[in-house]
Amino acid sequence: MIVAMLETATEDQIDAVIDAMTEAGVDVHRTTGKMQTILAAVGPTAGLDLSKFEVLPGVMHVHRISSPYKLAGRAFRPEGTVVEFAKEVHLGGAEVQVIAGPCAVENREQIFAIAKCVQAAGAHFLRGGAFKPRSSPYSFQGLGIPGLELMREAADAHGLLVVSEVMEIAQIEPMLPFVDCFQVGARNMQNFNLLRELGQIRKPVLLKRGIAATIEELLLSSEYIMSGGNYQVIVCERGIRTYETATRNTMDIAAIPVLKKLSHLPVVADPSHGTGRRDMVAPMAKAAVAAGADAILVEIHPNADKAVSDAAQTLFLEQFEELVKDLRLIATAVGRTL
Nearer to its own copies, 2 or 113 (CB): 2
10 Å CB burial of residue 130 (0-12, 13-18, 19+) is: buried
Residue 209 beta carbon to its own copies: minimum distance, rounded to whole angstroms: 10
Return the ∠ at Cα 14 (arms to 8 and 20), rounded to 5°: 140
Sign of CA dihedral 58, 63, 65, 66: positive
Residue 336 beta carbon to its own copies: minimum distance, rounded to whole angstroms: 12
Nearer to its own copies, 33 or 177 (CB): 33
Residue type (1 letter), 60: M
Residue type (1 letter), 181: C
Q: Residues 54-84, buried b or exposed e (16+ Cβ, 10 A)? A: eebebbeebeeeebbbebbbbebeeeebbbe
Residue 314 beta carbon to its own copies: minimum distance, rounded to whole angstroms: 9
Nearer to its own copies, 7 or 15 (CB): 7
- C-alpha 314/C-alpha 67 separation (Å) is 38
Residue 217 beta carbon to its own copies: minimum distance, rounded to whole angstroms: 9
Nearer to its own copies, 160 or 304 (CB): 304
Nearer to its own copies, 89 or 258 (CB): 258
Nearer to its own copies, 154 or 235 (CB): 235
- C-alpha 109/C-alpha 100 separation (Å) is 16
Contact 8/59 with Cβ under 8 angstroms? no
Nearer to its own copies, 176 or 212 (CB): 212
Residue 265 beta carbon to its own copies: minimum distance, rounded to whole angstroms: 15
Residue 88 beta carbon to its own copies: minimum distance, rounded to whole angstroms: 27
Q: Residues 165-189, buried b or exposed e (16+ Cβ, 10 A)? A: bbbeeebbeebeebbbbbbbbbebb
Nearer to its own copies, 100 or 251 (CB): 251
Residue 235 beta carbon to its own copies: minimum distance, rounded to whole angstroms: 13
10 Å CB burial of residue 116 (0-12, 13-18, 19+) is: middle
Residue 194 beta carbon to its own copies: minimum distance, rounded to whole angstroms: 9
Contact 164/129 with Cβ under 8 angstroms? yes
- C-alpha 118/C-alpha 108 separation (Å) is 15
What angle do the packed helices 317-333 and 108-120 form, to 10 degrees? 30
- C-alpha 2/C-alpha 22 separation (Å) is 13
Cβ-based neighbour number of residue 283 at 10 Å: 12
Residue 83 beta carbon to its own copies: minimum distance, rounded to whole angstroms: 22
Nearer to its own copies, 159 or 174 (CB): 174
